[in-house]
Amino acid sequence: MSAVDFHKKFNLGLTLEPNLREFEAFLKEYHPYIHSVYFSLPLGRKYHTRRIVSEQFLLPWKVKLFWRMLAMIREYGIGLEVLFNTLCLDREMIGRARDAMDRRGILPDYVCILGGYYEAAREFFPDTPLIWSFNNGMRTGADTEAPLHLAGVESFVLGSNFIRNNRFFAKLKGEGKQVILLLNNGCSFNCATCNNTSSVCASAFEENLKSRSVEYLYALQSIFPAELHEGVIDSSLVGLFKISNRGNSLAFARNAMRSYLDNEVRPYLLQDPKSYAYWGRAGYFWKYFSSMRLEEIVAWKEKILRRSLTIN
């Protein structure tokens, strides 16, 4: 198996935790690996899936930092991806987003949408490639059939039960679409929907725990670096690797990406068991991280995958 080419393959979330100097140092070191950065705009709570991010934007200096970061990202040749992935937007609000970016001369290279915003996105960003958001709740191939034929929809963010579905990745690639694989969201495979409501996620997880161990569920729902490096997931079929990191520190983003680059798990866990979040970040796992056993997780992964894995 040839080495995975991670050049311009990562799609990261924008974090407002660092100062501009720290952020530039990060971009200077890692821009060869970063294809694009995704973000929500500082235009009110309705634009955000994460409360902590919306609250950061209540601070005027954070808003100023945000716009300076976007300009810096572009200076390093990294794409900008704006998100419209919450449930309560409308045409006027998407138009307002376009105006806000227009005024600053920073238009996005990609627009990530829920299906209900397709017409507004085409109206206000007519020439911008569209990304079909993970939050559309795709659970079967049938969920992608309608958007597959929509003009401008070029990429699909896949996670949950799609994470190792090389056959489906190949199908989308054959249709001329790009797969954006969500590496570390850690979602349950049988969650009924994705509607920005954490209680739905938690209840599905708690129900699963009645019949399965937390190590099994983590093994199933997470992606260890070895699964890329050893070809469990065919990286040639994946356009981008998306890391869920918004609301966390810049160090979280760096370490998550670095772990996939270097194919390492154990060194991070020896430092801090919370490092499990680098490969499966779902909130309901966090309280179990300190008691989870790596060897048991690896054993479950091998049973699920029906092959051995070398976990460094």
CA distance 143 to 96: 29
- Specify the CATH number for the domain of residue 139: 3.20.20.120
* Pick from 11, 15, 6, 7: nearest CA to 247: 15
Residue 62: its pLDDT value, please? 95
Averaged confidence pLDDT in the chain: 94
**Which pTM value belongs to this model?**
0.95
In a domain, 239, yes or no: yes
Residues 94/40, Cβ–Cβ less than 8 Å: no
DSSP tag of 264 = -
The DSSP annotation for 163-191 comes to TT-HHHHHHHHHTT-EEEEE-S----TT-
**What residues contact 96, with CB distance under 8 A and at least 6 apart?**
43
CA distance 58 to 5: 39
Whether the predicted pLDDT of 302 surpasses 90: yes
Residue 204: its pLDDT value, please? 85
Residues 177/155, Cβ–Cβ less than 8 Å: yes
Q: pLDDT-based confidence at 1, cuts 50/70/90?
A: very low
Angle at 75 between CA 13 and CA 156, to 5 degrees: 35
- Give percent of the chain with pLDDT exceeding 70: 97
Whether the predicted pLDDT of 16 surpasses 80: yes
Residue 198: its pLDDT value, please? 60
In a domain, 32, yes or no: yes
> Over the stretch 65-86, which tens digit does the pLDDT of each residue have?
999 999 999 999 999 999 999 9
In a domain, 312, yes or no: no
DSSP tag of 66 = H
Residue 293: its pLDDT value, please? 97
The DSSP annotation for 96-136 comes to HHHHHHHHTT---SEEEE-GGGHHHHHHHSTTSPEEE-GGG
Whether the predicted pLDDT of 275 surpasses 80: yes
In a domain, 4, yes or no: no
Whether the predicted pLDDT of 194 surpasses 70: no
> Over the stretch 58-67, which tens digit does the pLDDT of each residue have?
999 999 999 9
Q: How many domains does the chain have?
A: 1
Q: What domain range includes position 67?
A: 10-305
In a domain, 5, yes or no: no
Residue 189: its pLDDT value, please? 86
